[in-house]
A and B are shown apart, each in its own frame.
Chain A
Amino acid sequence: MTSTQIPGATDVTDPATDPATDLALDVRGLKKVYDGQGRSVEAVRDLTFSIERGSLVCIVGPSGAGKTTLLRCIAGLLGITDGEVVLDGERVTSPPAGMAVVFQEYGRSLFPWMTVRQNVELPLKEKGLRRAERRRLVDEALAAVGLTDSEDAHPWQLSGGMQQRVAIARAVAYEPTVLLMDEPFAAVDAQTRADLEDLVRTLWKRLGVTVLFVTHDIDEAVYLGQRVLVLSNRPTVILEDVAIDLPDERDQLETRSTPRFAELRHHVYELIQQAKRGHRPDGEAPA
């Protein structure tokens, strides 16, 4: 892996034995091979990266890089072939308690027979939280995404952007260690998308939650992230871990027109182009 990242970010020492690095998520040697009908497909070859608590990391890769496979493995929704995913020092084998996922298909990830409030509240009920506590968390989450007035609506009565806000509110109310977002804004229009990107930045800063944001959009990755992990084509490895040294205060207009943004964007874009051509960090042949 080419290294341009924050020191310690790719440290592979055990967080439990090394108090200096506070890792929220640690992925080591992740490998995923699909076995089916007599032939096996290697989707993810060897992924190692870690995410410090409270950081916002974007993963970007060419189409078909196995981004969704990777995310499902991390979320514990898909078994892994080799390696390990460690969340809060605990190995992930099934969906862990400290993780919330926001899916791309907002319309399909909300329960259509429940109201907005019920959707946000359901996971909290399952956690066994008391009514008053649930009420506070749901109210706060809905207020944070600007949906207080829509709490009694059903998801399908809302626009796409608002539905994704509900999904984000549900994830935030769950108070996860790591918030996983799988191309959450790929299906909303450009203006809504910009609003939602800023919403993610705001929530992340306000709540101090760790965010892992998967996207195919280079601009989005550079605009949002503190780091951008660029994936190779299949079988996936990490091509480069790019540190985004833009100022912390980001603005759709200002940030995107700074020369540094253009440089970073250019760099990541080049990497993606290389990845599409089959360039791999270790020069190995793509299988």
Chain B
Amino acid sequence: MRIRHLLLQLLKAVALPIVLVTIWWVASADSTSFFWPPLSEIVKTFPETWDWDRIQHDVLPSLARLAIGYTIALVVGVALGSAIGLSRTLRAFLEPTLEFFRAIPPPILVPVIAVFAGYTGWTGKIITIALGCLWPILLNAVEGVRGLDEVLVDTARSYRLRRRTRFAQLVLRGSSPQVAVGARQALSIGVIVMVISELFGANRGLGASIVQFQRSFAIPQMWTGIILLGLIGFALSVVFRIVEHYSLAWYRGLRQADRGA
């Protein structure tokens, strides 16, 4: 029963991708257009394009930079967001400025950061990714902390929970559903910024490879890069959802109970 249910769920999830791939396959089968090669050719090119050497020197470094930048954004965003959410003074002081910075699209920052941190090294790229991911996490963390239940805050105070316990057990846990919303947005922004951060100057990386293929008219290879990027984005969101599923199980239950009442 359970297995059948799971299979059915799986079928629902993969049905549309299968249809889309089939359409692509059939529609492009007889294509003679240079920019629109048949999918069969793209698939054939895939393994030879993304061999171990390329994975090692382009894909993994890109993902590593994404991971580092994203982690920095998460830590800084939650820490700063909690501080701002907890202090009315800090909020009044910082919020207008934050709104200004948030309004700047992260790709604009690439050349600016490159001026200071260089086009080719890791530092500039990581800073760009971190800055791109920071805002949704930061602003959601502020909202999450501000939205903490007053009764729960009173409870923590009346039982004299220490500052550290209050931060770990009340502030972090209580704001985590809202932080997760920001973190999810940040993840897709992170992938975009990861690609963009490699577009300027002479670079290696997943994004840089795709652009290089395009510039050297290696069109099937370019398509494989785009597919790989899509697959990576998909994999990341699956991982995110699994983490969210377990860490926010209480929140799902709470909301279900509220709706049932």
Interface residues of A (CB under 8 A from B): 72, 75-77, 95, 97, 99-101, 103, 105, 108-114, 122-123, 125-126, 154, 156-157, 170, 174
- Residues of chain B within 8 A (CB-CB) of A126 are 159-162, 165
Asked if A156 and B254 make an inter-chain contact with CB atoms under 8 angstroms apart, the answer reads: yes
On whether the beta carbons of B160 and A154 are closer than 8 Å, the reply is no
Q: Indicate if the CB atoms of A77 and B157 lie closer than 8 Å.
A: yes
| Beta-carbon contact of A157 and B253 below 8 Å | yes
Q: Which of B155, B169, B250, B258 has the most CB of A within 10 A?
A: B155
Kindly report which residue of chain B lies nearest to residue A170, judged by CB atoms: B159
B48 located at the interface, meaning its Cβ lies under 8 Å from any Cβ of chain A in the complex: no
* 8 residue pairs, one from A and one from B, having the closest CB atoms: A108-B151, A123-B159, A156-B257, A113-B250, A101-B158, A156-B254, A95-B158, A109-B155
Q: In the bound complex, what is the Cα–Cα distance between A67 and B253 (angstroms)?
A: 33
Complex-state Cα separation, A154 to B249, whole angstroms: 11
With beta carbons under 8 angstroms apart, the residue of A97, A103, A154 that contacts B155 is A103
Q: A100-B158, A101-B158, A126-B160 are in contact. Are A157 and B257 (CB under 8 A)?
A: yes
Residue numbers in A under 8 Å from B152 (CB-CB): 108-109, 111
User: Is the CB of B149 closer than 8 A to any CB of chain A?
Assistant: yes
Interface residues of B (CB under 8 A from A): 149, 151-152, 154-155, 157-162, 165, 169-170, 173-174, 250-251, 253-254, 257-258
User: Roughly how many angstroms separate A125 CA and B160 CA in the complex, as a whole number?
Assistant: 11
The answer to whether A100 and B159 have CB atoms under 8 Å apart is yes
- Tell me how far the C-beta of B6 lies from the nearest C-beta in chain A, rounded to whole angstroms: 24
User: Contacts A75-B158, A100-B158, A123-B161; is A154 near B169 (CB within 8 Å)?
Assistant: no
Nearest to B165 among chain A residues (CB) is: A126
Give bound CA distance, A256 to B149, whole Å.
37
Closest to A126 in B: B161
- Residue contact A112 to B251, C-beta cutoff 8 Å: yes
Asked if A101 and B155 sit within 8 Å, CB to CB, the answer is: yes
B151 near A103 (CB under 8 angstroms)? yes
Q: Which chain B residue lies CB-closest to A160?
A: B261
**Docked CA distance A157–B258 (Å):** 10
Q: Are A154 and B149 in contact (CB under 8 A)?
A: no
| Residues of B with C-beta under 8 A to A95 | 157-160
Closest CB in chain B relative to A107 CB, distance in Å: 8
Residue of B nearest to A174 (CB): B159
Is A108 in contact with B158, judged by CB distance below 8 angstroms?
no
Give Cα A125–Cα B166 distance, bound, in whole angstroms. 12
User: Which chain B positions have C-beta within 8 A of A156?
Assistant: 250, 253-254, 257-258
Whole-angstrom distance from the CB of A59 to the nearest CB of chain B? 18
Chain A residues within an 8 Å CB radius of B162: 126
Could you list 17 examples of A-B contacts with CB < 8 Å? A76-B158, A77-B154, A95-B158, A97-B160, A100-B158, A100-B159, A108-B149, A108-B151, A109-B154, A111-B169, A112-B253, A113-B173, A113-B174, A123-B161, A125-B165, A157-B253, A174-B159
Complexed CA–CA distance, A75 and B165 (Å): 20
Specify which of A95, A100, A114 lies most central, judged by the most chain B CB atoms within 10 Å of its CB.
A95
